[in-house]
């Protein structure tokens, strides 16, 4: 084996630009699917709070599907399967506009919505029933009591789980490589096959994922502590 030499990778501008593009796509997929997941999760939670058994079962089925089917299979179903059912001009447009990344964001976002909505629901259920009653007794409307009393507590309860699922979403963005998104893991493999500097390239990729994951975990811990302090005041 050759000696460990990072310069062998970083002295080549092609390799550097591939890795930087990879990092950009990793963040794009992560941010896109996080936002989509959170927006959908809020919608799912609202539907689940409605007093309709059908609506609740529909959401439960949605969550169950996304939790029991492997994420990679969901990605494949979207990219290979559902894309094929779309009209031809839309398929052509997607092919011209990073269709892989769009489908990765859709698939990961829909999957993440199931996890986020369950986190929020657990947080909501952990709020004592007396809180809602007290808020109504103080003269808050339903929406007012949600906005000022229930939701702040629910979100605070849900933060640890939401952070954990955000970290796993960040790591799962690497799965997008299997459908050809040029994200970091894809870039790492590409540079490796061209430079034969496996050890160095893998180390760079691994370190990047590790640092961002740990930063996300640390940010979550800070957030949780600030919320606890705010609650204690």
Sequence length of the chain is 233
**Residue 202 binding other proteins, by CB under 8 A:** yes
Question: From CA 15, how far away is CA 145, in angstroms rounded?
Answer: 55
Q: How far is the CB of 125 from other proteins (least distance, A)?
A: 8
Enumerate residues 6+ apart whose C-beta is below 8 A from 174.
26, 183, 184, 185, 209
* Residue 137: exposure state from Cβ atoms within 10 A (0-12, 13-18, ≥19): exposed
Nearer to other proteins, 127 or 161 (CB): 161
Tell me how many residues contact other proteins (CB under 8 A).
51
Question: From CA 143, how far away is CA 136, in angstroms rounded?
Answer: 10
Which residues, numbered 70-109, are part of the site for other proteins (CB under 8 A)? 70-74, 76-77, 80-82, 84-85
**Residue 122 binding other proteins, by CB under 8 A:** yes
Q: How far is the CB of 138 from other proteins (least distance, A)?
A: 29
Other CB atoms within 10 Å distance of the CB of residue 153: 17
Q: Which spans of this chain sit near other proteins (rule: CB under 8 A)?
A: 1, 60, 63-65, 67-74, 76-77, 80-82, 84-85, 118-119, 121-122, 125, 160-161, 164-165, 167-168, 171-175, 177-178, 185, 188-189, 198-199, 202, 205-206, 209-210, 213-214, 217
């Amino acid at each position: 084996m050759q000696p460990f030499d990072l310069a062998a990778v970083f002295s080549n501008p092609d390799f550097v630009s591939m890795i930087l593009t990879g990092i950009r796509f990793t963040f794009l997929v992560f941010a896109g699917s996080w936002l989509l997941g959170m927006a959908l999760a809020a919608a799912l939670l609202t539907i689940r709070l409605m007093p309709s058994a059908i609506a609740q079962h529909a959401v439960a089925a949605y969550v169950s599907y996304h939790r029991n089917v492997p994420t990679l299979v969901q990605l494949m179903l979207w990219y290979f399967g559902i894309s094929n059912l779309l009209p031809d001009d839309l398929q052509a447009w997607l092919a011209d506009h990073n269709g892989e990344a769009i489908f990765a964001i859709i698939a990961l976002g829909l999957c993440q919505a199931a996890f986020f909505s369950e986190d929020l629901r657990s947080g909501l259920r952990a709020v004592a029933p007396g809180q809602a009653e007290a808020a109504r007794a103080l003269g808050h409307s339903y929406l007012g009591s949600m906005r000022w009393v229930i939701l702040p507590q629910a979100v605070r309860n849900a933060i640890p789980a939401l952070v954990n699922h955000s970290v796993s979403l960040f790591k799962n963005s690497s799965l997008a490589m299997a459908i050809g998104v040029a994200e970091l893991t894809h870039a790492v493999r590409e540079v490796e096959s061209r430079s034969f500097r496996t050890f160095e390239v893998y180390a760079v990729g691994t370190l990047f994922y590790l640092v961002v994951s740990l930063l996300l975990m640390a940010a979550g811990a800070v957030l949780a502590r600030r919320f606890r302090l705010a609650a204690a005041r």
